[in-house]
Structure 1
Amino acid sequence: MSDSTSSPVNARVDDLLGADRPPRWWRRSTVWVGAAVLLAAGGGWWLWSGSQAQKATPVFVTEPLRRGDVTLTVSANGTLQPTRSVNIGSELSGTVRKVFVDVNDRVKAGQVLVELDSAKLTDQVTQSRAALASAQAAVSQAIAARKEAEATLARYEEVARLSGGKVPSATELDSARASADKAVANERASEAAVTQARAALSTAETNLAKASIRSPINGVVLTRSVDPGNAVAASLQAVTLFSVAEDLTQLKLDVAVDEADVGAVGVGQKASFTVSAFPTRRYPATIERVAFGSTKTENVVTYTTTLSVDNSDMSLRPGMTASATIVATERKDVLLVPNTALRFTPAANGNGAQAQGSVLSKLMPRPPTAGAPKRATANNRVPGQRQIWVLQNGQPVQMAVKTGITDGRNTEVSGEGLAEGMEVIIDQKNAGGGR
């Protein structure tokens, strides 16, 4: 059909239908509006998916593997004491007459510190001397009696010889011999009494000397607990009147080391300590003894460790409480990692991102993903061996290391493949800032 024929027909149809005839689909505005909405929704979803994927991408916080020095230290508390101190007391009972020294006074060996009332002691010395003199006189009498008895016996024996044994009688001769023997015995007893009297005199003189209490050492008076007029009552334990320290330029620090740390402590190790009087100053010290005997206080077992301290400037005083730090072990120029690196483990899924999904997928077990890092377990872990993660080409790579000592922040490590400067992972975050 030609155009001239169809056009009038179409015109008549249009006239018949009028304005209510619907337009063709591609001319409809709703189609194009719907298409625009779909395109906008698809673009938004695509942008949102990319943003979520970017947020899920892990960001690893790293620190370089570095070389340095690390020190293992042991902390302990204790009290400063003199290297040698003497408690001076009295062996005698009596009344204090004079006190010659006070606290902080310097004394010398043999110097008189206190005098007791010695009137009774002087009388005892006088009595002992009189007893000695009496005993010595008795010896003289015994010697004279022995000589007389021996002379009498000699005369009897001579008469008996001259008379052919007729006189004196045998009884008289035996009596003379017995008298001579008694005289010898009496002389020996008198001599023993003299020895006893001398010992008593010596004791009395010693007690009189002890009435003047003297210092046994050169030193400084730390404490004094006596005044003139005080009564001193000696008993089984001598009463302490003074405490004298020998040399305050050299002190000792007795600290209590916990049983968990005593294995790392040994004689000759260096240490330092602080006291409350000088909190910003650290004093050097050296361990000179670690006790084998333990001390148990409230179920805590400790071992007393003695440190020698130089106190040339006399800034330290006996009795001060000190906080000591003992250098147990030192390592120089070793590889160090932060302790957080030894505790770090990447996320469990294969690409390192946090696992997402439905609640059901989280509850159901999933098969291991190919390429997922294997965690060390107690069955396959080598004693003394740990794991760290290093960042290589943007991916975490597990490396086995052997750990050494630690100072609480950094740990000594060694192992195959380790090199200074490696980026060691210490933490993991998402791109959006979450962990």
Structure 2
Amino acid sequence: MSVSSPPAGQRVIGRLGSHKGRRRFSPWLALPLALILAAGGFLAWRSFGTSSASSVSVSTATVSTGSLSLSVSGSGTVQPVQTRALSFPVSGTLSEVLVQVGDTVSAGQALASVEAQDLQMALMQAEASLKSAQANLASAQGEGATAADIASAQAKLTSAQASYEKTRTGDVTAAELASAQAQVASAQAKLDELLAGPTAADLASAQNSLQQAQLSLDSQRISLSTAKAKAESAVSTAANSLRDAQDNYSTVYWSNRQQENTPSGLTQSAKDDEAAALRSVNNAEESLRQAELAYEQTKQAEVIGLAQAESSLKDAQQQLAELQDGATKTEIASARASLASAKANLATLQSPASAQDLAIARASLEQAQISFESLTTPGSASTIASAEASLAQAQVAYEQAKIDLEDGTLSAPFAGVVAEVSASVGDNASAATITVIDLSAFYIDLSLSESDIGAVAVGQPVTLTFDALSDVTIEGSVQTVAPVATVTSNVATYTVRVSFAPGDAAIKAGMTATGAIQTAQHEG
């Protein structure tokens, strides 16, 4: 604090000093000066005392009641609640990779697939094996045969019995012998005919057929061409008639338009003439359309008729050429084989059966008997049990083949984001992995000391902050509290898992977060 009087005194002294040497100082003049200094000192003392008293201040505060929260803190790394590294359970080659890192996927969405051809083939084979096992079981139980199957087996058994008896007794009827002889004669005649070549009558007939085919082609060309020319002329005539009708209608039309402007106006007769002229135009147009249609039809008929006639001519030419060339080596060889077969059949009928023939007939009969009984008689208990076991194995193999085909497509198990793709088209499926994480829910694991863990309980609220996001605060809750400590270097800590939903915050897995667990709250 400053006092104003002393500076005034200084100024006075200064002024007095400034005249030193100009006049002698008088003692009587010092008395007023002393009085002034004494008064100034008193006033300064009063002013200083007043200012000191006024500058002292007193601080005050309002006392109120409130809540007091207690908390313990820890830090950890943000982890998604759901994360899945997906791989193919089947072998094969990757044919498609449908996602990349950062893609958002929905539950069930296809991510990658292997070539399905081998898996589909395996499923088809498993299905065929299953059906075969089902049929075998039905056959063993005597239930698989239809009425038609049984009837067919019965007929084969009857035929085998008759054949065996016939072979055993050598009983050949006269009719069977005559039929075999006729087959030999027919085969011999066919071979002789081929070796002898065509007769003069055959050649003459073939040449006549060729001439008739050529005449038919020439006739078709003339008649079809004439019909087409007539149709074309009809089109020209119809076109001329249409032009005449159009000219007439134009004349009547413009004449009537001029008559309409006269005082007498258009007469009914003139109107009728105009309508008749218009009908003539319409009729002429229809006649032209019909003529054009008929012309197109005659052109088509010409194409078809000539093609048929030319085909007939080619057939006749080929038949004549074949007759002139004679039988081919293949035809002669076939005729010789037919003759040999017919002679062998006749010889079999004319000679008694050998022991080998009888054995063959007996074997055929036994096989027919077994086939019939397998359709009508249930199998033994062991046979049925074996068939049932085979069916069960086939069913398991079929179901596994279906699962393998479904597993050939890797799908997202839940909605989320693709975090990693270690797969490329052409890679071995067993080495491919795709990782999907769920960004809708996270957790952090906090390590708390023995002194803090006693106050922590499941469900307590937790305030979370993030090193990378200074302006973000999210509320979570205690999900689990480890019942057993983790001891490292003789220091015991307990893991507390805190779960939270990120909402719209840009929180990513792997961020460092600090959680303040509210362990108690006291109301004042």
Structure having the larger proportion of residues in strand: 1
TM-score range, shorter-chain basis? 0.3 to 0.5
Bigger radius of gyration among the two? 2
Structure having the larger proportion of residues in helix: 2
Query: Which structure carries more relative contact order (alpha carbon 8 Å, separation 6+)?
Result: 2
TM-score (norm 2): 0.40
TM-score (norm 1): 0.48
